[in-house]
Every structure is written in C-alpha cells, then in structure tokens.
Amino acid sequence: MAPKGKVYRGSVKEFPGFDASQDAEALYNAMKGFGSDKEAILDLITSRNNKQRVEICQAYKSQYGKDLIADLKYELTGKFERLIVSLMRPPPYSDAKEIKDAIAGVGTDEKCLIEILASRTNQEIHDLVAAYKDAYERDLEADIVGDTSGHFKKMLVVLLQGAREEDDVVSEDLVEQDAKDLLEAGELKWGTDEAQFIYILGRRSKQHLRLVFDEYLKISGKPIERSIRGELSGDFEKLMLAVVKCIRSTAEYFAERLYKAMKGMGTRDNTLIRIMVSRSEIDMLDIREVFRTKYEKSLYNMIKEDTSGEYKKALLKLCGGDDDAAGEFFPEAAQVAYRMWELSAVAKVELRGTVQPTGSFNDDGDAQVLRKAMKGLGTDEGAIIEVLTQRSNAQRQQILKAYKAHYGRDLMADLKSELSGSLAKLILGLMLTPAQYDAKQLRKAVEGAGTDESVLIEIMATRNNQEIKAINEAYQEAYNKQLEDDLSSDTSGHFKRILVSLALGNRDEGPENLTQAHEDAKVVAETLKLADVSSNDSSDSLETRFLSILCTRSYPHLRRVFQEFIKLTNHDVEHAIRKRMSGDVRDAFLAIVRSVKNKPAFFADKLYKSMKGAGTDERTLTRIMISRSEIDLFNIRGEFMDLFDKSLHRMIEKDTSGDYRTALLALCGGED
C-alpha cells in the first residue's frame, strides 16, 4: 500500500476478506476439465493486489502440488495469457523478466530497457537487480554491458546503481552550477561533453533536477529536452529524454507511453501490458488524470476502443475507472498545469524567424532575375522561389519598386499571371507587407457567404497592439472600410464582442499586478462556475469583466492570473474553458490562453493539424508559414519537434509536393 504519509494512488487495492486458500480453489475449478472459465480468472486476479496474488500461488502449490503460473500459461493464450501471468509475478521479478526478454536473442529492445531503468526508484532498482540474480543466476549489469554500447551503456550502468540522491534539501548555488555545466557541456561547446550529462542527470535528486531544468530554461531560453535532442542522438538521446520526463513527472511519462502504444494503426501490446501491470499499484490514478488532461479522452476509453475480449476486460479492471464519466479536472494534472504556467512566466525566450535579410542585397539584380524567370515561353519557378523566399519582407518591397522602375511593369500582376495554385498564393502572400497580408486574410474570412471564424480567431488572438494597429490601417486602405465594422456586421453575441475588443489593440503592456491578478482569477473562476466568490455582479456583468480580463490584460499579468486560478480551483483555465464553453467563443478564449502560455506552441499545433490525416489544409499551412517566417518560425519548429516527435521540415516534405513544397521548405529554414 502507500508509504506512510502518502495517499495511495494505485488502481488495484487490497481485496477485503481475502482468503488465499479459497481463491486458489476458485482458480483450480476455473481451469479444471475441458476449457477454462476465463471470466472467473480475470475477475479474481485483477481484484487482488500483488501481495495477495503471491499468497494465492503459495496456497495453490500447497493444496494441489501444482505451479499456478504454469497452469495459467497452459490454459490461457496470447496477450491475455501474457497479461495475467505478468500480474502473478512480484514487481521486481516482473521487471527482471521484461529486461531478460529485452536483451535475449538477436537484437535488443532498447525501449523496454529505457522505460524500466529511467522510471524506477533507487529501491525498485535494487530489488530488480536482486530478482534478476535470483531468477536467472546472472548479473544484470554484466548482461546489459554485454548487450549495449557507448554512452547509452554508460548511462544504463549509472542508473543500475540505484544511487540517485534522495535529499530534499536543495542548494541554490549547485542548481545554478549544474545548469551552467549542462549548457557548457552542450550548447556552448564544440561537440558535446556526454559525461557531464550522464553525471548530473544520473545522480542528482529529482527535486534538485527540476530546479536545474528551470534554471537551464532561464539561462538558455530553451527547455533541456530541446538541447538534448540537438546535442545527443540515437538510443542515448532517447534514454536521456526519458530520464528528464520521469524527473518532471513520472505519471506524464507513462501517460505518453500508453498513448503512443495505442494511437494509430496497431497496438504495442507489450508496452501496454508492462505499464498497466507495473503501475497498477503505484500511480495509475495519476497516470489516468494526466492522460485525460493531455489527450482529452480517458485512458479507459482508449483501451476500450483499441483492445478486445478478455484482454480488454482485464486491462479495464486494472485501469480502475472511466475519467470521461467524471468529467472533472484532477489534482495531479493541476500541479502539472501550474508548473507549465510558472515556466511560461520565467522563460526568457528569444523569438527568431527563419527568413533573415540577405546580406549582399541588390534589388535591381533580383528584379532582373525575376523578369528573366517569367519572360518568354514557360516560367522558371525555381528562380522565383529562390529569390523571394530568401529575402526579408522589407527587401521584397524594394524589389517591387525596382521591378516597376526597371520594366514599367507590376511585379505582383506578372507573378499572378505566371504562377498558379498553391504556389501562387504562397508567393503572392510573401509579396504583401505583413499587415496587408493579415488584412487580406481577414477580408476573405468575412466576405461572401459564411464566415471563416478560425482565421478571425487565429489572427486577432495572436497579434500584438502594434500589429493590430497596422492591420487596421491596411484594411482601411485596401477596402475603404473599418475592420471593426466588418467584424461587427459579420459576427454576433459574445464572439463579436471578443473580436471587436481585440481589434482595438488596447492590450496592456505592463508587468503583472499580483493583487489584481488574484481578483481577476476570482472573476474567471466565478464566470466558469468553478468557485463561489461573493459578488453582487449579474451574470452579464461577470461575462463582461471576464472578456475584458482576457482581451485587455498584459501577457505577464494573465500568466499570473491563470496561476492564481489554479490555486483557487485546482483546475487549469484551458481545460475549464474547454469543458464549460462552446463554439466560437470557446475557441477564441482558448486561442488567447494558449498564446499567452506559449505562442510558438499554439502555431506548432495548428501547423500539425493542417497536415495530419487525409488531405492538407493548405490555406492554414500557407498563412502560418508566411506570417511567422520573420517572427518566430524557428521557435515554432522547436515546439513542433517537442510536441510531435517529428520535424516540421519532415512533415511538410511528406505532406506537400512540387514547387509549393520547395517554397515551404525554404521558408521552414532547415531540418531539426
């Protein structure tokens, strides 16, 4: 059960009124004769904790002179047999069997080694080493050394010592020194000092390392995970990332492993079984909570959709409940969310575009190259792409003038005449100023039948005051209309009020005000019906104040508001808005919240969704690649890799084709 002073967070509990002899008899009866009663077997075994199952094995041997595990192996088959037999072994012996299978025969299951050795406590490691010796009469360290190599082997050996510091007292000086040492061992060094990474990540306490990771973000402007991806490679990189994830949140690490085991075509049943068995008496409730929050569906429902038969029934029993039915947020996930807002507040991230002004710029020379590319029969799309994707927007404006002066022709008109399809939209978009481009996208979103609310939300929720002011001016100049008027006439209700408020470009740009943040958090909590705050405000007045807070408070202040909100309600504001709002209003507020938290991550998510699955949303893909290319596309690339374990470059390459792909990849600016 749970250690003294800690709340038990497993899903499998001690069975009340337990009788080992009675259970042994029930299992014997379920397996005797022709066939076996699988329902009875799974119901009994998944309802007992591991200590009780071990006692049942002993009672079975005493009463029938037979080995229960051997009988279960004989009677059951496939994944169900593997799951039930795994449940019968004590945890250290189960881990030992998994590792033995991972290194036996030809090839090694490095993912299994990484998962077990990166996630276990010192005591669990010591118990595992002893169980391996007892079960196989072999030395675990020697077997792993014989089956692995390089820095991957060295880090596994360090973890096998089970010697991670466990002191909760943290030295601020050592935190700063370790963060500096990691930075100097990787980002600031020609090559990488892997030994420094191994020593610090393999030995320091979890509490200490969490603070080191925070300090690293402050001094480097990027999370430690991104540096590991950039500096390390192969299985060593995967192992170090797993260690970092487990340091941050073991529950989140396993939630991610479970999700990946079931998403897409096919199921990684070995991973699914290993985690469901090994965490069922440790932190399955925490894993469920993080899973529900992170993937917006319950672990229970994903197992239900992805498995079948007795195997599914047994897994669902180990899961212990459906969090979709509860429909609430969770303490563990709230803590993770609070930490994310805290990191968002302290991070000093340098925003970088991928398109920079070219050094030896010659507007007249570029104009000549473009004219030559479009003159005569056929068009040299490659030359057009090479010039226009490698110049800043300011330089493109100079090329427009030079082209007009040199040839008396309108470059935009010539490009429109010579290019077509997705490439034409991309190149013509690059030729507009950022404000003109945004104004055009907004105009397209509101004109004609229907309104493209997603475009309105994306642009209005993510632009700063200066950008909003420039968009208003460009809109007036291009269409002889006020943007605010068009937004008002084409939308309605609270959604209209949000857009009109954002169109004013009146967001405060000052620092946080802690006293005001606490009061604002109360308003947000009451509006979302998550707190009973004594107030004489009517519902409409509350909604007005809520709207004003999200649309006019500064980003630093809102980060503090959202932290105070978690303290008040134990909910994350993003999750609360998803659950309690709907339609365009929900989507607009979510866009604001996600921009405040991490704007590059917001755009990374939109880019991923524009390309995943069947078909490509080229309008969204083009719009974001153009509009962020000189602002933060480099940061978006980093977030894309962190979120989806694949590079933006690779996904564009796979999902698009022809000259359009060539131009997009040029804007992307590199492979991560």
Classify the phi-psi angles of 620: left when phi > 0, otherwise alpha if psi is within -120 to 50, otherwise beta: alpha
Q: What is the CA radius of gyration of the chain?
A: 29
Residue 35 has pLDDT above 90, yes or no: no
- Pick the closest to residue 49 from 23, 22, 11 (CA basis): 11
Q: What is the pLDDT of residues 392-416, one digit of tens each?
A: 999 999 999 999 999 999 999 999 9
Rounded CA separation 54/352 (Å): 58
Tens-digit pLDDT profile for residues 184-200 = 988 766 657 899 999 99
Burial 513-551 (b: 16+ CB within 10 A, else e): beeebeebbbbbbbbbebbebeeeeeeeebbbbbbebbb
Could you give the percent of the chain with pLDDT greater than 90?
A: 78
State yes or no: pLDDT of 338 exceeds 90: no
CA 492 to chain centre: 34
Give yes or no for residue 533 having a pLDDT over 50.
Answer: no
Q: What's the rounded Cα separation, in Å, for the pair 117 and 139?
A: 15
What pTM was computed for the model?
0.76
Model pLDDT for residues 65-105, shown as the tens digit of each residue: 999 999 999 999 999 999 999 999 999 999 999 999 999 87
Assess whether pLDDT exceeds 90 at residue 36. no
**Residue 68 has what DSSP assignment?**
H
Mean pLDDT along residues 534-556: 81
Could you report the per-residue pLDDT of 481-521, keeping only the tens digit for each?
999 999 999 999 999 999 999 999 999 999 999 999 999 99
Average the pLDDT over each of 236-240, 324-328, 346-350 and give the range with the smallest value: 324-328
Average pLDDT over residues 355-369: 95
Query: Which segment of 32-41, 349-358, 474-483, 493-502 scores lowest on mean pLDDT?
Result: 32-41
Q: Name the H helices within 221-263.
A: 224-231, 234-248, 250-262
pLDDT of amino acid 328 = 61
Is residue 335 over pLDDT 80?
A: no
The more confident residue out of 129 and 613 is: 129
Q: Any idea which of 10-14, 28-32, 535-539 has the lowest mean pLDDT? A: 535-539
DSSP string of 332-357, one letter each residue: HHHHHHHHHHHHHHH-------S---
Segment 115-140, tens digit of pLDDT: 999 999 999 999 999 999 999 999 99
**Is residue 168 very low, low, confident or very high in pLDDT (cuts 50, 70, 90)?**
confident
Closest among 235, 199, 44, 50 to 127, alpha carbons compared: 50
pLDDT of residue 189: 67
Q: Give pLDDT, residue 5.
A: 52
Residue 305 has pLDDT above 80, yes or no: yes
pLDDT of residue 630: 97
Least confident of 271-280, 620-629, 644-653: 644-653
Give the percent of the chain with pLDDT over 70.
95
Task: Give CA separation, 620 vs 127, 443, 452, 471, in Å.
Answer: 53, 15, 11, 19
106 pLDDT more than 80: no
Which of 113-127, 324-338, 446-460 shows the lowest per-residue confidence on average (mean pLDDT)? 324-338
Residue 538 has pLDDT above 50, yes or no: yes
pLDDT digits over 557-596, tens only? 999 999 999 999 888 898 889 888 999 999 999 999 999 9
Residue 255 clears pLDDT 60, i.e. is over it: yes
